[in-house]
Amino acid sequence: MMKEQKNTADARKAAADPVIQMDQVTKTFPWGGSILSRRRTAKVLDRVSFAISKGEVLCLVGESGCGKTTTGKLVAGLLNPTEGRVLFHGADIWKMDPQKFKAYRRAVQLIQQDPYASLNPAHSIFDTLKAPLVRHGIVRTQEEALSRAKELLQTVDLTPPDDFLFKYPHQLSGGQRQRVSIARALTVNPEFIVADEAVSMIDVSIRLSIIALLSRLKNELGVTFLFITHDLAMARYFAWEGRIAVMYLGSIVEIGTTARLIQEPLHPYTKALLLAIPEADPEITRHKQTLPVRSLDIPSLLDLPSGCKFHPRCLFFIEGKCDVEVPQLTPREDGRLVACHLRSA
Ligand code: SF4
């Protein structure tokens, strides 16, 4: 009983002190502009808010181009918001002094989709791991760097480490390169990892082993995750004990615990994504509806639909309401938030 009370108190404390918080973040980018066409603005993110507590996994799910990668870059401090704030332990990262900003950038690491593009082909694996260790003063000598690099390779299951240390990225498989990317992120003992489509460019056969590695890091090192994926099945697998946020055209349309969201999706877009997941049984998959939407065309970010941005595709579209009023993220009894007029009635 005492232990349960302590766990509840710890959970409340963690929720009250999120590691990362997006507070009404909007991000726009200039688009085009020439003698023949005027410069326009693409609103890639529209008032996005969420908070991630220590040790938690939040999966951000949505189709390509919905703003997931931009969100990851904002959380990692690689982009600044047009409006709103990104907070690290309650402090606005863009108002931090240089020393605090450096500490934040060290605490929040990004693992990118393409391990080949993110590793310098001219650097050996040892050089790749040594650079951040030296830059952040974690090691002082070549021996210390070698020893720590070997430990890191063992942590990501590249063993024996001597077989990998002096190889170059092109000598490794896709899965091995992604393990090196993960090892590099771990060089600075991060508190938070943004994994942006971290397994989507890897052979299906080894995806699960990389996911198992990330799960182990979460459990053993207590790392907090923002896991970005277009694959709801992968989100379900990685974040079963965490939460999923579903993003559509730069807005979060549903956010809640993975189990509830998967068992009973409330937003029509979440339902469509879930129905599109292939089943293990090819017979069931063959007879499954493809994406159950009115239109397969995704609207342009330069010309977003009025009202609910999903209304041109939604099977439950209410004329005169959904195309006029923007639905707000509204709390439900089970704690999740949903932005749909059907659910706020
Ligand atoms: Fe569909 Fe209307 Fe809900 Fe948008 S607000 S998801 S159009 S029912």
Residue 246 inside a domain? The answer is yes
Distance, CA of 70 to CA of 251 (rounded, Å): 12
Nearest to 105 by CA among 191, 171, 43: 191
Cα(301) to centroid of ligand 1, in Å?
Answer: 18
Residue 49 inside a domain? The answer is yes
What pLDDT does 190 receive? 94
Residue 161 inside a domain? The answer is no
Distance, CA of 126 to CA of 131 (rounded, Å): 9
Give the burial string for 73-83 (b: 16+ CB within 10 Å, else e): bbbbbebebee
Asked whether the beta carbons of 52 and 33 are under 8 A apart, the reply is no
List the chain residues with pLDDT less than 70: 1-16, 33-37, 278-291, 344-345
Evaluate: CB of 101 within 6 angstroms of ligand 1. Answer: no
Residue 11 inside a domain? The answer is no
Which residue range(s) make up the domain with 62?
Answer: 20-122+168-343
Span 12-68, pLDDT tens digits: 444 567 999 999 999 999 887 666 667 788 999 999 999 999 999 999 999 888 999
What pLDDT does 286 receive? 60
Cα(49) to centroid of ligand 1, in Å?
Answer: 20
Evaluate: CB of 317 within 6 angstroms of ligand 1. Answer: yes
What pLDDT does 2 receive? 46
Evaluate: CB of 327 within 6 angstroms of ligand 1. Answer: yes
Distance, CA of 240 to CA of 196 (rounded, Å): 18
Nearest to 224 by CA among 258, 192, 257, 186: 192
Atom of ligand 1 nearest to the CA of 323: 7
CATH of the domain at 262: 3.40.50.300
Residue 35 inside a domain? The answer is yes
Cα(315) to centroid of ligand 1, in Å?
Answer: 8
What pLDDT does 290 receive? 59
Residue 326 inside a domain? The answer is yes
| pTM of this structure | 0.86
Atom of ligand 1 nearest to the CA of 343: 3
Q: How many domains does the chain have?
A: 1
Asked whether the beta carbons of 55 and 222 are under 8 A apart, the reply is yes
Residue 316 inside a domain? The answer is yes
Residue 135 inside a domain? The answer is no
CA dihedral 92, 95, 99, 100 (to 10 degrees): -10
